[in-house]
């Protein structure tokens, strides 16, 4: 085994809390991990790129929120518009939001989007034949839409099911209603059915969320989620199925019985987080209002002291994703959604980790 590969394997086990002693660190003590070492602009001229996922060839598909375009970005910076998703209706924070590529893309050529439509938010399946997108088919409809709090992140979990974050659609009570699709993290099959084993026998995986927009799984397969708070506290949550994350009773940490406190909080000025990614023992959280990339080291189920990168250098940050291979991040901005901002002001940056 290559030394670097071995180090990564040991770190992954350390993240799972298994081999802390092997690393020579005291239990709970710091473990040496990679961190951002450099940044370069991969591509400019974007307009609110939101959802993103990797294709098997190492390029990525991005979804632009308000143009409704799906754009392929290659590692060499080549950008190709491959189509426009139908039935998307933008407005406020709604539009074309999350995007997730099928784990079986090599054979099924499928990807999925979360988008706002005329009367709801929904998850739809499309195909990409390498040249153009097509085959739009809604698989889960009826998620309430609103000007704000649409959630919208979409990602495949290690279990092969599709996870979607939904906002409370400015109806806070929906977050505590296990029969509502809103204010939740949903776990569904690729036909939009509830995934087998879901805690309430429906699409709901966890509840009590306000406006979660970030999902990432660590090396041990734990699900972490980033959530925008109201006026005071943004949250990083460790997601357990069936758990209640408190909204609207709690914003941030409140210690209520039956409700799960976040593992880390920030003021909304420092964060207002959207995307979340995991790489080499740490989470990376893209901050909109905070205009910085937060790195949060993990020690098992504990989230350590966050450190900020690129503060006020790139503008609002929306989406961060770990490059296949794990040695770099792709980080995209969200500046064209500022009030009065023209289109085309966004960029995708590549952050090397070392
Ligand atoms: Ca909460």
User: Is residue 149 annotated as part of the catalytic site, yes or no?
Assistant: yes
Question: 36 lies in a domain?
Answer: no
**Distance from C-alpha of 173 to C-alpha of 350, rounded to nearest angstrom:** 40
Question: 13 lies in a domain?
Answer: no
Total structural domains within the chain = 1
Question: 153 lies in a domain?
Answer: yes
Dihedral over Cα of 342, 118, 61, 182: its sign: positive
Question: 27 lies in a domain?
Answer: no
Exactly one of 68, 149, 203, 349 is catalytic; name it.
Answer: 149
As a whole number of angstroms, the longest Cα–Cα distance in the chain is: 57
Predicted local distance difference test score (pLDDT) of residue 181: 99
> Average pLDDT of each block of 10 consecutive residues along the chain (354 residues)?
47 46 45 88 98 98 98 98 98 97 98 98 98 98 98 98 98 98 98 98 98 98 98 98 98 97 98 98 98 98 98 98 97 94 97 97
156 CA → ligand 1 middle, Å: 23
Predicted local distance difference test score (pLDDT) of residue 338: 87
108, HSE (Cβ side, Cα atoms, 13 Å): 12
Residue 134, domain extent: 44-353
343 CA → ligand 1 middle, Å: 33
Question: 34 lies in a domain?
Answer: no
262 CA → ligand 1 middle, Å: 6
**Distance from C-alpha of 354 to C-alpha of 41, rounded to nearest angstrom:** 18
Question: 171 lies in a domain?
Answer: yes
Record the tokens describing residue 78, joined without a space.
Answer: 């080549």
């Amino acid at each position: 085994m290559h030394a670097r590969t071995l180090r990564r394997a040991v770190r992954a086990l350390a993240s799972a809390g298994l081999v802390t002693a092997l690393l020579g660190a005291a239990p709970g003590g710091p473990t040496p991990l990679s961190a951002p070492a450099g940044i370069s602009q991969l591509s400019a001229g974007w307009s609110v790129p939101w959802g993103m996922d990797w294709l098997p060839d190492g390029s990525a598909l991005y979804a632009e929120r308000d143009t409704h375009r799906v754009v392929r970005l290659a590692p060499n910076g080549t950008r190709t518009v491959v189509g426009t998703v139908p039935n998307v209706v933008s407005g406020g924070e709604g539009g074309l939001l999350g995007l997730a590529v099928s784990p079986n893309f090599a054979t099924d050529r499928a990807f999925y989007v979360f988008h706002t439509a005329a009367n709801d938010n929904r998850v739809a399946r499309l195909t990409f034949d390498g040249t153009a997108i097509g085959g739009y088919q809604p698989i889960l409809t009826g998620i309430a839409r609103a000007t704000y709090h649409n959630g919208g992140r979409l990602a495949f979990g290690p279990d092969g099911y599709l996870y979607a974050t939904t906002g409370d659609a400015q109806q806070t009570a929906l977050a505590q209603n296990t029969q509502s699709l809103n204010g939740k993290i949903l776990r569904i099959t690729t036909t939009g059915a509830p995934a087998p084993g879901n805690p309430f026998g429906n699409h709901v995986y966890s509840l009590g969320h306000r406006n979660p927009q970030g999902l990432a799984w660590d090396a041990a397969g734990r699900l972490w989620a980033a959530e925008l708070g109201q006026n005071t506290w943004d949250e990083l949550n460790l997601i357990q199925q069936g758990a209640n994350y408190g909204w609207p009773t709690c914003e941030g940490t409140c210690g209520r019985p039956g409700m799960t406190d976040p593992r880390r909080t920030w003021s909304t000025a420092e964060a207002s987080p959207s995307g979340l990614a995991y790489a080499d023992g740490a989470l990376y959280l893209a901050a909109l209002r905070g205009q910085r990339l937060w790195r949060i080291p993990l020690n098992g189920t504990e989230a350590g002291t966050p450190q900020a990168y690129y503060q006020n250098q790139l503008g609002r940050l929306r989406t961060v994703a770990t490059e296949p291979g794990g040695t770099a991040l792709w980080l995209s901005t969200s500046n064209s959604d500022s009030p009065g901002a023209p289109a085309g002001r966004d960029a995708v940056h590549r952050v090397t980790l070392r």
